[in-house]
Structure 1
Amino acid sequence: MGAGLVAALLAWGLNVLIVKGGGERCIIWVIPWLEEFIKTGTALLLRTSIPLTHGVFGLVEAVHDYLSSRRLGFWAGLASVLSHWFFGQITQYLFSQTGYWLLGAGAAALVHVSWNLAITRLFASLQRIK
């Protein structure tokens, strides 16, 4: 559980700097890579479960989502927990099959990029409907 908290703190600090320097597009194209490598690297360094670390990270993100939006926070938080747990499952599966954690984290990052792109487009289209 500690690895997920450590990863969340590291990622949060770096995410703030990256978005400040590179703008909102970094949420789609840069941050997923950073988060997947931080979560997996932290789990490996602390010798703990990769899926659990990813899930705890998602739970921390869910609390942030919930506190940030009364209207959508619950659903965004639920999506955070489930998606990060899923990314951890992808990473663990590929790592266990190949022995290469970078392959697992990279594949999870590609799925994470796709997820963030889809969610960003969905919310942009919902904003246009209003």
Structure 2
Amino acid sequence: MVIFAGMIAALFSYICNKWVLRGLGDIAIVVVVPFIEEALKTASSIIIGTSTIGTHFIFGLIEGIYDIVNSSKSIGKWAALASIISHSIFGLVTYLTIKVGYSIYWGIFLSWLIHSTWNWYITKYV
């Protein structure tokens, strides 16, 4: 079920992100896209009843495959590794936030904040 949850989140994120990027451009990469992804990953794991960390990991794996296919050889493998690690960390943050007693909304908010900061850093300095 975790693979299914990750695939659903990746599919819906891909569709939503394309639409948002067309409408908002670069600001979407830092602000809106991370929110869409964190909300969809967490929601799909909760609705399907599977591992939040695992769902985020599968999402990162799918994004990593996308990175390899759509990036240069020199960048693709590193982007893929960064996708897998970063999305797993976002999932861990979400899981731990919920585990210690905060709501799902706080989990999504904190992972969105970290994801947003990560995307800002990557787009500004890398």
Sort the TM-score into its range (normalised by shorter chain). over 0.9
In structure 1, what residue type is equivalent to 2:82? Answer: A
Q: CA deviation at 1:99?
A: 4.3
Larger Rg: 1
Q: With structure 1 as the length reference, what TM-score do the two structures score?
A: 0.92
What residue ranges of structure 1 are gaps of 5+ in the alignment? 124-130
In structure 1, what residue type is equivalent to 2:20? Answer: I
**Equivalent in the alignment of 1:57:** 59
Aligned match of 2:15 in 9, 13, 19? 13
What residue ranges of structure 2 are gaps of 5+ in the alignment? none
**Equivalent in the alignment of 1:119:** 122
Structure 1 residue runs of 4 or more that deviate by more than 3 Å after TM superposition: none
Alignment of 1:91-106 (within 5 A): 91-106=94-109
What fraction of aligned residue pairs are identical, expressed as a percent?
35
Partner of 1:71: helix, strand, or coil?
helix
In structure 2, what residue type is equivalent to 1:95? Answer: I
**Equivalent in the alignment of 1:3:** 5
Aligned match of 2:36 in 34, 37, 43? 34
